[in-house]
Amino acid sequence: MSPYQWILALHVIATIAWMAGLFYLPRLFVYHAMSAPGSEQSETFKLMERRLLRVIMDPAMIASWLFGLWLLALNPALREQGYLQAKTALVVLMTVYHFYLARAVRLFAAGKNTRSHVYWRVMNEVPTLLMIAIIILVIVKPF
């Protein structure tokens, strides 16, 4: 039970929590975009979105990065690995997507969202595609 194994386990736990939020938040936006502005339903969505982001997604993203970089520090040779370089590029895209959703939480809270429920249904697929590519890279290590 090397420390590396414990940190790897904590890394995977954190990424699962982060992914859960990245899948769920755009789904809330789909229904929020269909609800009447100022309605009780819309106010409930605002609360759910803010809590999901602040209580789950932000800490899980930070923990994913912290434990991931810790693994790299413990095993610097990994930096040369093509699969991990490609994975890191996709994870940076995932992080940009996270901040895009955080901006959307603020826009919905201010009643300024202009995007339709169809737009958020399409955007909901982005983290799925990124996650599939990331898992294939880090498990199969194709290059």
Residues that bind ligand HEM (CB under 6 A): 8, 11-12, 15, 19, 64-65, 68-69, 71-72, 78, 84, 91, 94, 131, 134-135, 138-139
Q: What angle do CA 72, 93, 35 make, to 5 degrees?
A: 130
Q: Which is nearer to ligand HEM, 65 or 119 (CB)?
A: 65
CB of 106 to ligand HEM, least distance (A): 23
- Give 74-93 as a 3 state SS string: HCHHHHHCHHHHHHHHHHHH
Q: Which is nearer to ligand HEM, 106 or 141 (CB)?
A: 141
CB of 13 to ligand HEM, least distance (A): 10
Q: How far apart are CA 66 and CA 70, in angstroms?
A: 6
Q: How far apart are CA 83 and CA 89, in angstroms?
A: 10
Q: How far apart are CA 31 and CA 68, in angstroms?
A: 34
CB of 116 to ligand HEM, least distance (A): 28
CB of 114 to ligand HEM, least distance (A): 29
CB of 133 to ligand HEM, least distance (A): 9
Q: Which residue is nearest to ligand HEM (CB)?
A: 68
**Burial, 76: exposed, middle or buried (Cβ in 10 Å; 0-12, 13-18, 19+)?**
exposed
Angle between helices 82-109 and 40-51 (to 10 degrees): 150
Q: Which is nearer to ligand HEM, 23 or 119 (CB)?
A: 23
Q: Which is nearer to ligand HEM, 71 or 126 (CB)?
A: 71
